[in-house]
Chains A and B, each alone.
Chain A
């Protein structure tokens, strides 16, 4: 079983990438479990054709965690992709990070964490220990950083690299960086910039996903690109991403950049 997690700045396209990755892998006949770890709970929506599935934390809140079965939390989407949404408290109250921990404990107890590939789609910033949960022992062993060429996005990716580096120092940790995925914003020289960033943090650019109108159109139809436009170039890109990630044997411990390194890196690449 391969367990991977996608991390990156909010709004960078993690969920779109994750859903299309899951869809592409499912087309190959693999058993996929995608777990959305974001209180917004919209990670699996395109796989579920627009349905908002009940979140684990909504169920815990309504019923308590004693009376929940696997069928209550796992929903079959496109090509049998099994979808779970962690959910979270109402915005501005409680502790979403602790919610992620409780979700993992429940999924563990329900023996729901299985399949050929588990894809964890985690919210933008690793704001507390709870959101680092998927990186901890026993869960995702390969982290993929999703970023565009925008500096804020690279900055967020660098921060997550820090978390990976810290966690990988722990004796029993198996968490490593699988690679960097460039989800392009059509910035000039974007591919080179992200590739160079990946190299500098001791990783590599594993996929370049060009910006495509197909993504928006597919989303309007509440589907992944892989499902809505299976013949499109963009679908081919996601299938290629799936093959690369599934076959990826080369992971690394990242060496995140210091703030001044990040700034001088920016000056090298951005035309001013």
Chain B
């Protein structure tokens, strides 16, 4: 697991719709993604995704194909190249269980009708993901579009859902993605709620059939609310709009999930408070230290939740926040749950000790 908290990693959360969408779609592990555009668009993303997989100790290769458009395709239209590439994807062994087609800046500019090409019946679902390169928005828009596209493969649930949760829109490129999921699983465990589906991380096309059988969707961050709304409309699943951040935020998260699920969360919250207290005691040696929070790097913005989380922790540990204190960077993104805070406090201690 890559535990490098370098702030430079946060550049991963900006950029092209394609990268955002692929960070989701390549986690449908039996799907092939076709990037309809010049070879370079696939190359950059392949490199990033491959490096991320490797740094998470996963020896897989992202299943990307490019339509490899050249100037002539731009002049005469690239739809034929897309047809050929879809056929190529279908001829792969093993046959992909689903195919996602992502559009780039240039095919959107010349007006290729990607959706019409995808709509032809082929026996395997071929889903057009409206990424459109920069024309479709930014990284985050790509993630949302991809989640909605993947959700289109799930059928509305007919059976009654069972008490469980989906994790929706995990940040697959963040270094702590699996620790964060484990933390949510731990917290939900206090309420007796299991994880139904990681939507989307390390799943198969078939797993998507389960999408509608959870009783609650846990969104990674509030920006995914449109996805939460869509899933609620389609499957009737209520959602919590963010992973928890901060000491009290984590307890509120338990309360909210409990409320939505019709479970009394007061015991769970009580247990979590005690757990947090024990965790903080492990850092009591820092009491009285002077710290000064700052953004991780002048080139980076701060996660808006980070400041509140840091201030709350400083108070709980009896630290003094002062301009002459030891410089401590705001975490980006904000740490998830109590376990996230513990990892953050380890870094604080290293800084405070010098």
Contacts and interface: CB of A to CB of B under 8 A. Distances in A.
B2 interface: no
Interface stretch (A11-19, A86-94, A150-158): A86-94
Contact of B79 (A61, A93, A96, A102): A93
A93 B79 CA distance: 9
A61 B71 contact: no
A258 B328 CA distance: 58
Interface in A125-164: none
Contacts of A49: none
Contacts of A57: 75-76
A95 interface: yes
Interface in B108-127: 109-112
Nearest to A89: B76
Interface string B151-190: 0000000000000000000000000000000000000000
A95 B110 contact: yes
Interface string A64-100: 1100000000000000000000001110011110110
A78 to B, nearest CB: 30
A60 interface: yes
B74 interface: yes
Contacts, number: 42
B77 A89 contact: yes
B230 to A, nearest CB: 32
Contacts of A93: 76-77, 79, 110-112
Contacts of A90: 76-77
Contact of A60 (B72, B77, B79, B109): B72
Interface in B53-110: 71-79, 109-110
Contacts of A65: 72
B129 to A, nearest CB: 21
Contacts of B73: 94
Contact of B74 (A61, A64, A95): A95
8 contacts: A61-B76, A64-B72, A65-B72, A88-B75, A93-B79, A93-B110, A94-B110, A98-B110
A93 B109 CA distance: 11
Q: Lowest 8 CB-CB distances: which A-B pairs, in order?
A: A93-B77, A94-B77, A99-B75, A95-B110, A89-B76, A94-B76, A98-B75, A94-B75
Interface of A: 57, 60-61, 64-65, 88-90, 93-96, 98-99, 102
Interface centre among B72, B74, B76, B111 (most CB of A within 10 A): B76
B26 to A, nearest CB: 30
A203 to B, nearest CB: 33
Interface in B137-153: none
Contacts of A95: 74-75, 77, 109-110
Nearest to B71: A102
Nearest to B75: A99
B71 A98 contact: yes
Contacts of B111: 93
A207 to B, nearest CB: 35
Contacts of B71: 98, 102
Contacts of B112: 93
Interface centre among A65, A88, A89 (most CB of B within 10 A): A89
A90 B78 CA distance: 12
B72 to A, nearest CB: 6
Contacts of B110: 93-95, 98
Nearest to A65: B72
B54 to A, nearest CB: 38
A100 to B, nearest CB: 9
A96 B111 CA distance: 12
A98 B73 CA distance: 10
Nearest to A60: B72
A209 to B, nearest CB: 34
Given A61-B72, A65-B72, A88-B75, 16 more contacts: A64-B72, A93-B76, A93-B77, A94-B73, A94-B74, A94-B75, A94-B77, A94-B78, A95-B74, A95-B77, A95-B110, A96-B75, A98-B71, A98-B74, A98-B110, A102-B71
Contacts of A94: 73-78, 110
A95 B110 CA distance: 6
A105 to B, nearest CB: 9
Nearest to B111: A93
A202 B74 CA distance: 38
A65 B72 CA distance: 9
Contacts of B76: 57, 61, 89-90, 93-94, 99
A96 B110 CA distance: 9
A21 B75 CA distance: 30
A29 B335 CA distance: 82
Nearest to A99: B75
Contacts of B78: 94
Nearest to B109: A95
Contacts of B79: 93
Contacts of A98: 71, 74-75, 110
A39 to B, nearest CB: 10
A64 B70 CA distance: 11
Interface centre among B71, B75, B77 (most CB of A within 10 A): B75
A55 to B, nearest CB: 12
A98 B110 CA distance: 10
B57 to A, nearest CB: 44
A95 B79 CA distance: 12
A53 B74 CA distance: 23
A57 B76 CA distance: 9
A89 B75 CA distance: 6
A93 B74 CA distance: 9
Contacts of A61: 72, 76
